Amino acid sequence: MDSIWTKSADMPEFPILETELHTHVLIIGGGLTGILCAYFLQQAGVDYCLLEKNRICSGITCGTTAKITAQHGLIYGKLLQEKGAETAEQYLRANLLAVEEYRRLGSKIACEMEEKNACVYSVSDRSELEWELTALDRLGFPAKFVDCPTLPFRTEGAVCFPHQLQFHPLRFAGGLAASLNIYENSGVRRMTEHLAITEKGSVTADKIIVATHFPFINTRGVYFMKLYQERACVTAWRQAPDVDGMYIDAAPDGLSLRNYKNFLLIGGGSHRTGKTVRRTSPRRSSGVPEEYSRESAFAREFFRSRTADWGLRKLKTEAARCFPTAEFAGAWAAQDCMSLDGIPYIGPYSPSTPELFVAAGYNKWGMTGSMVSAMLLSDLVQEKENMFSELFSPKRRILTPQLAVNLLEAIKGIAKPTLRGRCSHMGCVLKWNPEEKTWECPCHGSRFGPNGAVLDNPAGKPLRKIP
């Protein structure tokens, strides 16, 4: 399922690495994060190169809905309650800076960048919106409450961020990448802290940035415990109205909407990759303090991890109900790494590897996550101070309810007896996704084609045994 972005962009091509190189900074991963890192390092005059195992932006980046916004659901009330005003303010500031950097770069590239309001709506709970608005007021951000957003179904209102952006992500990335030092079809087969070996070449580097969506080095940083992956479907529709903004439901099983040219993009059905169990908990809103304290944190995360895959058919049904005149034009799926506390991991890969860096766990907000990562990591590899290094540090506290859920899923997946194949990453039992015709790992989100080929990491090797 090719995305609308893939079908409407011609990406530059780059050679295969067939020699031995030495560089100051090696970037592994040619998605938007890696390309932005390379761009900033080139602008700073730093010697670098980038290795991509396939074609640039052929993985997670091409599946995005391409919303550039500092509004990440109803996150600021939660951050204020759980981590305090300083953390919430820094998170907001970092993402607002990312939006402005996109605005600056996008003005130089033909990437169809448009300014839009970004809005979180609720169909059932006005109080959660009011709580978020109060949190944003405390942080000094001029969010607006809209009683009747331009949506064709009843809501309790929406919290809107003005002056946010949307664009064509591949045209933006392709415009930046054209002059960069990139090698495609050059996947890393083996590496140490300073050496990466590909099929036909190698790179020795003083510093290495791992920007591979899910970090693939298991012996450092325990990212297999700190991350899991969620998957969701995105559909494109013709003859649909202009919703005049970027919208997302406050509830995790709601709809995401935005327009692109004469298409309306509708996403939804986020679920833990590899899970097919029907929802066993009632629909819950995401954050009023009374509800938050009344429920077990572990139970909330456990039930959330078992949300059913809506699937394309259910998303089509929802679209037909909301937009009866719309004509289906295509669909694709997107996958996101979820961190333990809702904040990405950006910084040194582990305390024992000060010259190995990572960017991961964007929690469905990969556009601003990529930009924040590139701005932060390009400073760190140049040994410059950055005001956000502590906020995003991967070494921060990991004792959260989500950690317990991740560990439980991994133990179940590894210990479960099966005659089917197991994931080549850590041996979890795979599940078949009949809609996408893929084998999926419910532990860490690796995906494989029917022939056993790796589609999504952290798995790096194809399946030994086809299930």
The model's pLDDT over 163-217, given as tens digits with 9 standing for 90+, comes to: 999 999 999 999 999 999 999 999 999 998 899 999 999 999 999 999 999 999 9
Going by C-beta distance under 8 Å and a sequence separation of 6 or more, which residues neighbour residue 112?
A: 167, 168, 171, 260, 261
The model's pLDDT over 71-104, given as tens digits with 9 standing for 90+, comes to 999 999 999 999 999 999 999 999 999 999 999 9
pLDDT band, residue 310 (cuts 50/70/90): low
269 residue type, one letter? G
188 residue type, one letter? V
> What's residue 190's pLDDT?
93
Q: Which DSSP letter does residue 62 get?
A: G
- Please state, rounded to an integer, the average pLDDT across all residues of the chain: 90
Q: Is the pLDDT of residue 301 over 50?
A: no
Going by C-beta distance under 8 Å and a sequence separation of 6 or more, which residues neighbour residue 377?
A: 37, 209, 346, 347, 357, 359
Q: What angle do CA 55, 57, 63 make, to 5 degrees?
A: 130
135 residue type, one letter? A
Concatenating the DSSP letter of every residue in 277-332 gives: PPP-S----S--HHHHHHS-HHHHHHHHHTPPP-HHHHHHHHHHHH-TT-EEEEEE
Contact 88, 76 (CB under 8 A): yes
378 residue type, one letter? S
Q: Is the pLDDT of residue 317 over 80?
A: yes
Q: Is the pLDDT of residue 417 over 90?
A: no
Going by C-beta distance under 8 Å and a sequence separation of 6 or more, which residues neighbour residue 382?
A: 44, 46
Q: What percent of the chain has pLDDT over 70?
A: 92
The CATH homologous superfamily for domain 116-165+228-338 is D-Amino Acid Oxidase, subunit A, domain 2 (3.30.9.10)
- 3 state SS of 48: strand
Calculate helix-pair angle for 32-43, 169-177, nearest 10 degrees.
40
d(CA 197, CA 220): 18
Q: What percent of the chain has pLDDT over 90?
A: 74
Contact 304, 269 (CB under 8 A): no
259 residue type, one letter? N
pLDDT band, residue 433 (cuts 50/70/90): confident
Q: Which two tokens stand for residue 304?
A: 């959330």
Average pLDDT, stretch 393-411?
A: 88
The model's pLDDT over 4-42, given as tens digits with 9 standing for 90+, comes to 999 999 999 999 999 999 999 999 999 999 999 999 999
pLDDT band, residue 314 (cuts 50/70/90): confident
Q: Which CATH number fits domain 4-63+171-226+341-380: 3.30.70.120, 3.20.20.100, 2.60.40.1180, 3.50.50.60?
A: 3.50.50.60
* Structural Rg of the chain based on CA atoms: 21
Q: Is the pLDDT of residue 295 over 80?
A: no
pLDDT band, residue 276 (cuts 50/70/90): low
Instruction: Spell out the SS3 assignment of 162-214.
Output: EEEEECCHHHHHHHHHCCCCEECCCCCCEECCCEEECCCCEEEEEEEEECCCC
> What's residue 401's pLDDT?
86
Average pLDDT, stretch 389-400?
A: 92
Q: Please, which residues bridge with residue 346 across strands?
A: 359
pLDDT band, residue 400 (cuts 50/70/90): confident
Q: Which DSSP letter does residue 390 get?
A: T
Question: To which H or E segment does residue 373 belong?
Answer: helix 366-380
Q: Which two tokens stand for residue 437?
A: 């015709």
- CB count in 10 Å sphere of residue 366: 26
The model's pLDDT over 39-78, given as tens digits with 9 standing for 90+, comes to 999 999 999 999 999 999 999 999 999 999 999 999 999 9
The model's pLDDT over 124-167, given as tens digits with 9 standing for 90+, comes to 999 999 999 999 999 999 999 999 888 989 999 999 999 999 99
Question: To which H or E segment does residue 406 belong?
Answer: helix 401-415
Q: Which of 167-171, 304-308, 331-335 has the lowest mean pLDDT?
A: 304-308
> Quick one: how far is CA 83 from the chain centroid?
22
Question: To which H or E segment does residue 385 belong?
Answer: none
| Sequence spans of domains, the chain | 4-63+171-226+341-380, 116-165+228-338, 416-456
| Pairwise pLDDT comparison (303 vs 128), residue with the higher score | 128
Q: Which of 227-231, 244-248, 411-415 has the lowest mean pLDDT?
A: 411-415
Q: Which DSSP letter does residue 14 get?
A: -
pLDDT band, residue 252 (cuts 50/70/90): confident
> What's residue 284's pLDDT?
41
d(CA 348, CA 427): 27
Q: Is the pLDDT of residue 287 over 90?
A: no
Q: Is the pLDDT of residue 305 over 70?
A: no
- 3 state SS of 397: coil
> What's residue 101's pLDDT?
98
> What's residue 110's pLDDT?
96
Q: Which of 281-295, 310-324, 406-420 has the lowest mean pLDDT?
A: 281-295
pTM of the model: 0.91
Helices (H) and strands (E) in the chain, counts: 12, 21
CATH code of the domain made up of 416-456: 2.102.10.10
Q: Is the pLDDT of residue 421 over 90?
A: no
194-203, 399-408, 447-456, range with greatest mean pLDDT: 194-203
Contact 129, 145 (CB under 8 A): yes
Average pLDDT, stretch 249-257?
A: 91
Q: Please, which residues bridge with residue 330 across strands?
A: 236
Average pLDDT, stretch 247-271?
A: 92
- CB count in 10 Å sphere of residue 152: 12
